[in-house]
Structure 1
Amino acid sequence: MISVGTPLLWTLFVAFVFVALFVDFFAMSKQGAHTVSMREAVIWSLIWVATSFVFVGWLWWYLGGLDGDLATKTLANAKALEFITGYLVEKALAVDNIFVFLMLFTYFAVPPAYQKRVLMIGIIGALVLRAIMILVGAWLVNQFHWVMYIFGAFLIFTGIKMWLATGEEPDLDNNPALKWINRHFKISPNYDGEKFFTVDNGIKMATPMLVVIALIGIVDVIFAVDSIPAIFAITTDPFIVLTSNVFAILGLRAMYFVLASMHERFHLLSYGLAIVLVFIGAKMLLIDIYKIPVAASLGFTVTVLAVTMILSLRIPPRAGHTGTAFPFSAKERDGESDETK
């Protein structure tokens, strides 16, 4: 499989990811458990978005986009466009990750001061899973071209399912994963700081924090299965696939705290995401008949997401409509905080 990822590029990218995670963990340990303010979340979100575009600008320059010959410039422009399109698609799909995280935090009444650590662990899990699944997916696509048709059909199915599921109430009480955890672990009714285990009346028990971490890990797997085929519809270059995914995920924690307070404003966004998934799935199914240009994919994705966000601001949500395929509890919508229990 042809890739622009040279050993030097891979080494620099991996080094950057480790440095970024170290800085994030170091800042988190210095601050301790605290509630993330909107100002802090917006600043970090802007930093991660800016870092992503600095990276793609540097990659474009490194590939010869500025002073190379015609062929080199064409390659640099194509890879930069693939990265931006993949980054935007993965960032958009990450919105549903955020909605699920918010649902879990509300259901388990996770104190705001502890949410930052849970998200950080979830992000690391997502990074590891994406790396593994992308490498496996790249190998499958390279070895068996027909896998693209399976990916395409799966994305269309997922998009239709997301459209139909938008606004449905979740039932975590009957969630199979949560039932399994309750059968195999003694769960404390109370948090013990950020600890995963505690001792209650001489009995060692798991805290709700461990349960939330476990469920977020399951969510990471589910969304990785959805998003990996989507990026392969844009490019099959493993370096572009992985880097666009990783940069989208690195800003996920900050984006959560930005969107957590304004999720109901974009109640139609899941419909837009469903349309994008169906479009990308159709693009994969048509790959041997007509290859839709990456620029067209980027334009379509931006237009659909922009339109659904604008309509969300202009059209009030229906009563009882949560605006996402993974809605929040009724208590949160009614303004009742679980922390008051």
Structure 2
Amino acid sequence: MLEISPLVWGVTIALVVVLLAADLLLAALRPHKVGFKEAAAQSVFYIAVAVGFGVWFTAAYGGDFGTQYFTGYLVEKSLSVDNLFVFVIIMTTFAVPEKHQHKVLTFGIVLALIMRAIFIAAGAALLNAFSVVFLLFGLLLIFTAVQLFRHRDEDPDIEDNAVVKAARRFLPVTDDYVEGKLTVRTAGRRMVTPLFLVLIAIGSIDLLFALDSIPAVFGITSEAFIVFTANAFALLGLRALFFLVKGLLDRLVYLSTGLSIILAFIGVKLILHWLHVDISPAVPEIPTLVSLAVILVVLAVTVVASLVKTRNDPTAHAHPGSLKLTGSTKDHADR
């Protein structure tokens, strides 16, 4: 079992908070269009921070825990790319000005980290108390994988998001972004701007992704510290990665298929672990190194196959897949 001192926890959380605060402050003080060079430099920086932390962690706590961290980071990074698809759709749906996209993404990442921290604490407590949670997490991931594969050629309908629809119904909304403010007072009346709705949309989507990504990384490791750091460092680079690859996302036509395979694989891994612990030690488990190899192969095949497909068929374009919080009105109408 991994023993992490309060000092290491404190320093790690402080590092994440400082990086987030710096990003948020930059977005607030200097709203601007983020160019390719800036996005590339920031992406390299965040990846270097994540890798550097992994190298230190491996040296300090051993190769097994280090492998768990890097595998978890890889899983969360690959799942975060699907987040980017949805972020692009949200930005497009609400016509967010480019100079405000930096701020929106940073707030979205803060919300995602808060939600994941809550789910990590709850998940770790449940796993320690009830080993059957491994079975439940495994079934949840397999169900998610099936749903993602079934709807792999769809885009989420942001306008049909129940939370966004409720906000539109009960809150007065301005017609424009009013210099990136969340609320303004107009004619003595407090109103929210479309940016407020964008944050609501991103927050509800973050909740949905947290419900999938946390069980996925718990399928790699049951250590709360590794789960937190893998999520935190994957999300910290998400904003820069958005601006770096948003023009290339459309070419990853098989990403949803690849992610569904990864989620199903981790789901099976969790179920085997539960069977090994609760039913019979004779049931084999999938080693972390094997998991790492499978994930790398699936991601590599997904990227190469996508690029070949779009090269041979320029009309092909990617979709993030549709995983809804609730069934849409269109779905009910179709039934």
Q: Specify if TM > 0.5.
A: yes
TM superposition shift of 1:325: 0.6
Distance 1:321 1:62, change over 3 A: closer
How many Å apart are 1:227 and its aligned residue?
A: 0.4
After superposition, the Cα gap between the structure-2 partners of 1:206 and 1:262, relative to the gap in structure 1 and judged at 3 Å, is same
| Cα deviation 1:292-339 (Å, max 9, x = unaligned) | 010000010011011010011101368575332159xxxxxxxxxxxx
Q: Residue 248 of structure 1 aligns to which amino acid in structure 2?
A: A
Distance of 1:58 and 1:306 partners within structure 2: 27
**Distance in structure 2 (CA, Å) of the matches to 1:152 and 1:318:** 37
Equivalent residue letter for 2:19: A
- Provide the residue aligned with 2:319 in structure 1: 323
- Map of 1:225 onto structure 2: 211
Counterpart secondary structure, 1:312:
helix
**Residue number in structure 1 paired with 2:43:** 45
Number of residue pairs aligned between Structure 1 and Structure 2: 313
Which 10-residue stretch deviates more, 106-115 or 264-273? Answer: 264-273
Is 1:191 matched with 2:177? yes
Identity of aligned residues (%): 39
Displacement of 1:84: 0.2
Q: What is the one-letter code of the residue matched to 1:41? A: A
Q: For 1:143-182, what per-residue CA distance to the aligned partner results, in whole angstroms no more than 9, with x for missing partners?
A: 0000110100000010111111111244333332222111
Determine the C-alpha separation between the residues in 2 that align with 1:25 and 1:180: 28
Are the counterparts in 1 of residues 120 and 227 from structure 2 also a CA contact under 8 Å? yes
Match of 2:55 in 1: 57
Amino acid at match of 2:72: G
Q: Say if 2:74 is the partner of 1:112.
A: no
| CA distance 1:38–1:326, shift in 2 (3 Å) | farther
Q: Does 1:77 align with 2:71?
A: no
Gaps of 5+ in 1: 64-75, 328-341
1:286 alignment partner, SS class: helix
- Give the CA RMSD over aligned residues: 1.7
Decide which of 111, 118, 121 is 1:125's aligned counterpart. 111
Q: Secondary structure at the match of 1:166?
A: coil
CA distance in 1, matches of 2:113, 2:209: 12
TM-score normalised over the length of structure 2: 0.89
Match of 2:328 in 1: none
Contact 1:96 1:326 (8 Å CA) reproduced: no
- In the alignment, structure 2 segments of 5+ residues that lack a partner are 277-282, 324-335
Is contact 1:100-1:326 (8 Å) kept?
Answer: no
Among candidates 194, 198, 203, match of residue 208 of structure 1: 194
| Range moving further from structure 2, 309-318 or 243-252 | 309-318
Shift of 1:128: 1.1
**Contact 2:86/2:320 (8 A) holds in 1:** no
TM-score by length of 1: 0.88
Structure 2 residue matching 1:205: 3-state secondary structure? strand
